């Protein structure tokens, strides 16, 4: 969906702009049709009208969008982030212990690990990378919501 939006808005915008729909002072439309024409999945044929409509929609839905950001941050913070944070010391200790093993011991460790555990499928040498990635995703959620909030308050 994001790819389609980027393709439509930045790649094909001038080709999709087919009409300039306007209203007169009395509220009647200057065109004969009662509604502005639309593409089946790509929005209005008047791209300026599409921009105005999307801006109005964002302003009208501000509370729901902020609630969605807060919910996502709380779900992510209480889900995968909190579960990995609880076992942080154990996982870092296992990563260091794994680094001192020989290649044969590493293979035996992987084979003896029960099914469904993280270190059966991913090497323990990458646990720090996993923690960095999870913290980065949480930071992106928080900063994305903050930037969106700053954009709406202007």
Residue ranges of domains in the chain:
61-154
Whole-number Cα distances in Å, 148 to 55, 59, 116, 140, 151: 13, 11, 38, 12, 5
DSSP string covering 59-86 = HHTHHHHHHHHHHHHHHHHHTHHHHHHH
What is the CB neighbour count within 10 angstroms for residue 124? 23
19-71 tens-digit pLDDT: 777 766 555 555 555 677 777 777 777 777 877 887 888 888 888 888 888 88
Confidence of residue 1 (pLDDT cuts 50, 70, 90): low
Q: How far apart are CA 96 and CA 105, in angstroms?
A: 14
Q: What is the pLDDT of residue 23?
A: 67
């Amino acid at each position: 969906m994001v790819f389609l939006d980027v393709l439509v808005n930045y790649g094909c915008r001038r080709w999709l702009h087919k009409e300039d729909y306007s209203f007169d002072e009395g509220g009647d439309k200057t065109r004969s049709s009662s509604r502005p024409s639309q593409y089946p999945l790509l929005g209005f044929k008047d791209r300026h009208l599409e921009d105005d409509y999307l801006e109005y929609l964002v302003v009208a839905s501000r509370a729901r969008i902020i609630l969605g950001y807060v919910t996502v941050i709380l779900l992510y913070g209480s889900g995968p982030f909190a579960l990995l944070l609880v076992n942080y010391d154990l996982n870092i200790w296992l990563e260091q212990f794994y680094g001192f093993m020989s290649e044969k011991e590493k293979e035996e460790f992987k084979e003896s690990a029960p099914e469904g555990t993280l270190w059966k499928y991913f090497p323990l040498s990458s646990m720090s990378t996993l923690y960095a990635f999870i913290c980065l995703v949480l930071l992106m959620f928080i900063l994305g919501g903050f930037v969106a909030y700053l954009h709406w308050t202007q």
